[in-house]
Amino acid sequence: MIEVVISAAVLASMYGLVAIGISFTWASIGMLNLAQGFIFTAGGYAAWVFAEFAISAGISGPLLSVGVLTFGMLGSAVAGLAVGSIAFLPLQDRDNFRTRSLIATLAISLIGTQVWLIFFGPQNKPLPPVFGEGRIEFGNAGISYGQLGTIIVASVMLGLVILWMRSSRRGLQMRAMMMNPLGAAVVGVSVRTTGMRVLAISGALTGLSSVLLAQIFFVSPTSGVQPLTVGLIISLAGGLGSIPGTVIAAGLVGLAEAVTARYLQQSLVPFVLFGIVVLILIFRPRGLGGLLEDVRE
Amino acid sequence: MSKSTPLVGRRSWRPKWPVNTDRVFKRRRYFGTKRSVLKLQGQFNPKTLRRELVLTDKKPLFWIAALTILLVLPLGVGNQRFLSLFGIICIYAAINVMWTLIIGTAGLQSFATLATVGVGAYGSAYLSITYGLPWPLMLVAGAGFGALMGWIISLPARRLDGLYYALLTLGLSEFMRNFVTQSDALGGKFNGALFGVAQIVPSDLLTTRAGQSLLYLTAFIALLVILIVFRWVNGGRIGLMLKTAATSKEDESFASAIGVDFQKARTHVFIIASAALGFMGAFYATYIGGTSLQIFSLELLLLMLAMIVIGGLGKAEGALIGTVIVVGITQWFTDWGPWRVVLVGVLALLSVLYTRNGIFGLKAQIQEIRERRQALHRAAITGRYAEYLPQQAPDIHDKSLIVGRVFERTLRDRLKSWIDPDIIKEHELKPMGQHSDHLERMLNYFRKAPIPDKYAVYCVEPFASYRVVALSGLPGVPPRIVDDKTYPSLEEAYHAVFLRRVNDLRAS
Q: Dump pLDDT digits (tens) for A183-199.
A: 888 888 888 888 899 89
**Considering only CB atoms, which chain A residues are within 8 Å of B161?**
285
Segment B466-476 mean pLDDT: 92
The verdict on residue A292 lying in a domain is no
Return the pLDDT at B2. 41
B349:A86 CB<8 A = yes
- Lowest mean pLDDT segment, chosen from B133-137, B231-235, B248-252: B248-252
**Considering only CB atoms, which chain B residues are within 8 Å of A115?**
338, 342
* More confident call, B166 vs B501: B501
Burial category of B362 from C-beta neighbours within 10 Å (exposed 0-12, middle 13-18, buried 19 and up): middle
Query: For chain A, first and last CA: distance in Å?
Result: 44
Segment B360-385 mean pLDDT: 80
B159:A282 CB<8 A = yes
* More confident call, A214 vs A295: A214
Q: How confident is the model at residue B388 (pLDDT cuts 50, 70, 90)?
A: low
Q: How confident is the model at residue B402 (pLDDT cuts 50, 70, 90)?
A: confident
Percent of chain A's residues with pLDDT above 70: 96
The verdict on residue A175 lying in a domain is yes
Residue type, A5: V
Residue B53 gets which letter from DSSP?
E
Who contacts A24 (Cβ-Cβ below 8 Å, separation ≥6)?
A: A178, A198, A201, A202, A205, A241, A243
Q: How confident is the model at residue B271 (pLDDT cuts 50, 70, 90)?
A: very high
**Considering only CB atoms, which chain A residues are within 8 Å of B354?**
none
* More confident call, A1 vs B155: B155
- Asked whether the beta carbons of B87 and B287 are under 8 A apart, the reply is yes
Which residue of B174, B306, B339 is in closest CB contact with A110? B306
Which residue of A106, A229, A285 is in closest CB contact with B171? A229
The verdict on residue A60 lying in a domain is yes
Question: What CA–CA distance (Å, rounded) separates A95 from B365?
Answer: 14
Q: Is pLDDT at B84 greater than 60 in this prediction?
A: yes
Residue of chain B with shortest Cα separation from A235: B167
Q: ipTM exceeding 0.95?
A: no
Q: How confident is the model at residue B394 (pLDDT cuts 50, 70, 90)?
A: low
Query: For chain B, first and last CA: distance in Å?
Result: 44
Segment B323-345 mean pLDDT: 87
Give the domain extent around A215: 2-223
Q: Is pLDDT at B237 greater than 90 in this prediction?
A: no
A235:B167 CB<8 A = yes
The verdict on residue A58 lying in a domain is yes
Task: For the beta carbon of residue B27, count every other beta carbon within 10 angstroms.
Answer: 9
* B241-248 contacts, C-beta under 8 A, 24 or more apart: B241/B265, B242/B105, B242/B106, B242/B107, B242/B266, B242/B269, B245/B107, B246/B107, B247/B107
Task: For the beta carbon of residue B130, count every other beta carbon within 10 angstroms.
Answer: 9
Return the pLDDT at B120. 92
Q: Is pLDDT at B397 greater than 60 in this prediction?
A: yes
**Considering only CB atoms, which chain B residues are within 8 Å of A99?**
109, 163
Return the pLDDT at B418. 93
Which residue of B303, B309, B338 is in closest CB contact with A103? B309
Average pLDDT, chain B: 85
- Lowest mean pLDDT segment, chosen from A12-26, B10-24, B80-94: B10-24
Q: Is pLDDT at A32 greater than 70 in this prediction?
A: yes
Which residue of B155, B174, B342 is in closest CB contact with A115? B342
- Among B109, B110, B170, most A C-beta atoms within 10 A, so best to mutate, is B170
Return the pLDDT at B9. 56
Return the pLDDT at B315. 84
**Considering only CB atoms, which chain A residues are within 8 Å of B183?**
267
The verdict on residue A238 lying in a domain is no
Which residue of B109, B156, B163 is in closest CB contact with A278? B156
B175:A273 CB<8 A = yes
Q: Does A34 touch chain B (CB under 8 A)?
A: yes
Segment A85-96 mean pLDDT: 84
B167:A90 CB<8 A = no
Greatest mean pLDDT range, B307-321, B375-389, B466-480: B466-480
Chain CA centroid to CA B121, Å: 36
Segment B10-27 mean pLDDT: 79
Segment B335-341 mean pLDDT: 84
- Asked whether the beta carbons of A89 and B353 are under 8 A apart, the reply is no
A91:B167 CB<8 A = no
Segment B343-351 mean pLDDT: 90
Percent helix, percent strand, percent coil in chain A, to nearest 5: 75, 5, 20
> Positive or negative CA dihedral for A159, A161, A164, A166?
negative
Question: What CA–CA distance (Å, rounded) separates A117 from A126?
Answer: 16
Q: Could you report the per-residue pLDDT of B179-189, keeping only the tens digit for each?
A: 787 777 776 66
**Shortest distance, CA A189 to any CA of chain B (angstroms):** 25
B352:A111 CB<8 A = no
Q: Does A222 touch chain B (CB under 8 A)?
A: yes
- If you count DSSP H runs as helices and E runs as strands, how many of each does chain A have, helices first? 12, 2
Q: Is pLDDT at A292 greater than 60 in this prediction?
A: no
Which residue of A117, A269, A273 is in closest CB contact with B338? A117
B175:A91 CB<8 A = no
The total number of structural domains in chain A stands at 1
Q: Does A162 touch chain B (CB under 8 A)?
A: no
